[in-house]
């Protein structure tokens, strides 16, 4: 079964969360970890009153660029957290800046993954 994102429920639509939010970071692009290139998420940890952000993937401490800086409260949460979907939700879409690609975007690519493990073979799932 292939399902990249869970389907929204009726309760999600009632709470205004039926759509995956689209975030536009402008021409600078999204804030990313300098080491592993992970995109900013609600799981980043904010340090030094918001001047540094620790990546949740590789634990690298990144300097926060001036255009993305925001002060933190006494609990280490950014004060603009409620206005930034990338810091509030586990899933968000990014509007790519023009610098993300040197050529026109192509049609979507499909990736098919087959479970060829011994367990799938022995249980008959492979066939």
Give the pLDDT band (50/70/90) at residue 19. confident
Nearby residues of 42 by Cβ (< 8 Å), 6 or more positions away = 86, 87, 88, 89, 90
pLDDT of residue 1: 47
Q: What is the pLDDT of residues 49-65, one digit of tens each?
A: 999 999 999 999 999 99
* Distance between CA atoms of residues 59 and 78, nearest Å: 18
pLDDT of residue 27: 86
Task: Write out the CATH class of domain 19-98.
Answer: mainly beta
DSSP annotation of 80: T
Give the pLDDT band (50/70/90) at residue 103. confident
DSSP annotation of 51: T
- Domains of the chain, by residue range, sit at 19-98
Burial class (CB in 10 A: 0-12, 13-18, 19+), 56: middle
Predicted structure pTM score: 0.67
């Amino acid at each position: 079964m292939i399902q990249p994102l869970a389907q929204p429920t009726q309760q999600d639509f009632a709470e205004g969360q039926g759509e995956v939010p689209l975030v536009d970071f402008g021409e600078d692009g999204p804030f990313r970890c300098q080491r592993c290139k992970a995109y900013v998420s609600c799981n980043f940890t904010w340090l030094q009153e918001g001047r540094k952000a620790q990546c949740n993937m590789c634990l690298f401490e990144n300097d926060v660029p001036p255009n993305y800086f925001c002060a933190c409260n006494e609990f280490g949460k950014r004060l603009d957290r409620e206005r930034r979907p990338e810091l509030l939700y586990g899933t968000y879409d990014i509007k790519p800046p023009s610098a993300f690609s040197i050529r026109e975007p192509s049609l979507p690519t499909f990736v098919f993954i087959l479970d060829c493990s011994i367990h799938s073979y022995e249980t008959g799932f492979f066939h």
